[in-house]
Amino acid sequence: MPDTIRIIHCLKDNYAFLIVNPDTGTAILIDAPEAAPILDALKRESLTLSAILLTHHHWDHVDGLEALRKAYPAPVYGNKADAARLPALDHAFAPGDTILDGACHVMDAPGHTIGHVAFHFPALDALFSADSLMTHGCGRLFEGSPQDMAATIARFDALPPETRIFSGHDYAQANLDFAARFAPDPEALKARQEELDRLAASGEPTTGTTLASERLVNPYLRTHLPQVAEAAGLPDASPLAVFTEIRRRKDNA
């Protein structure tokens, strides 16, 4: 089956995503950092937008919305609890809801912001996690606590291992450099560095790694492991304490 997910580079290091339905010539958009590259991607395949899903209220995830809706007046979906900070919503959902005729499960994903959500499409083995769980890392804690983000990531960790994680930014290289300090699987680290070198040379996106592969290198999925606790300078500490310390060090990295 040809892959229906398109990854679009926006702004300096953001990603937006289209899920294409080739039968109807329509696409679902996840986040709208800026209009022009998304409009180009739609034009390239003669697609129209059928829905726009928003992960959180930050400007670099919503700023392209107005121009996109002028071209394609598709309904906008967002978290009801964050409606006051999001652009006007046509469909306000709550985390735990199923939307788009059952195709998408909305997962609560607080940490980066309190109202942050992720979109899981089980039939596509795809999780759109924006600035929560990211490729080889996790997002900055602007509003939530380490406990919030650790719980968010634990919810994702229960998804099937083949689930692909599509995050909202291209931070993969910086995240991998940081992850290398916390006892990642050495072979997975080496393989992933080679892959990032290849992607950088070809200009291809770095996101879309599987949950299984993230479990080998992403420190925030490995806080229960003794070697990670040790590398964080907290042998015998709880996974949450290890998580908190690793995230704190990233802020100061």
In whole angstroms, the minimum distance from the beta carbon of 33 to Zn ion comes to 10
Tokens of 102: 């059952």
Q: 172-194 burial by CB neighbour count: b if 16+ within 10 A, else e?
A: bbebbebbbebbbeeebbeebee
In whole angstroms, the minimum distance from the beta carbon of 131 to Zn ion comes to 4
Q: Which of residues 114-133 bind Zn ion (CB under 5 A)?
A: 131
Positive or negative torsion for Cα 53, 63, 134, 237: negative
Query: Of 131 and 214, which CB lies nearer to Zn ion in the complex structure?
Result: 131
In whole angstroms, the minimum distance from the beta carbon of 96 to Zn ion comes to 22
Count residues near Zn ion (CB under 5 A): 2
In whole angstroms, the minimum distance from the beta carbon of 233 to Zn ion comes to 29
In whole angstroms, the minimum distance from the beta carbon of 140 to Zn ion comes to 8
Query: Of 139 and 184, which CB lies nearer to Zn ion in the complex structure?
Result: 139
Residue by residue, DSSP assigns 139-183 as: ---SSS-HHHHHHHHHHHHTS-TT-EEEESB--HHHHHHHHTTS-
Residue 122, CA distances (Å) to 67, 92, 102, 163 in order: 30, 21, 10, 8
In whole angstroms, the minimum distance from the beta carbon of 110 to Zn ion comes to 12
| Secondary structure of residue 93 in the 3-state scheme | strand
Other C-beta atoms within 10 Å of 165: how many? 24
Positive or negative torsion for Cα 213, 214, 218, 220: negative
Tokens of 209: 């790694």
Q: Which of residues 127-186 bind Zn ion (CB under 5 A)?
A: 131
Length of the chain (residues): 253
Query: Of 58 and 164, which CB lies nearer to Zn ion in the complex structure?
Result: 58
Query: Of 58 and 136, which CB lies nearer to Zn ion in the complex structure?
Result: 58
The reply to whether 31 sits near Zn ion by the rule CB under 5 A is no
Query: Of 16 and 242, which CB lies nearer to Zn ion in the complex structure?
Result: 16
Q: Which of residues 45-64 bind Zn ion (CB under 5 A)?
A: 58
Q: Does residue 131 contact residue 112 with C-beta atoms inside 8 Å?
A: yes
Query: Of 62 and 232, which CB lies nearer to Zn ion in the complex structure?
Result: 62
In whole angstroms, the minimum distance from the beta carbon of 253 to Zn ion comes to 18
Query: Of 82 and 131, which CB lies nearer to Zn ion in the complex structure?
Result: 131
Closest-approach residue to Zn ion (CB): 58
Tell me which residues touch Zn ion (CB under 5 A).
Answer: 58, 131
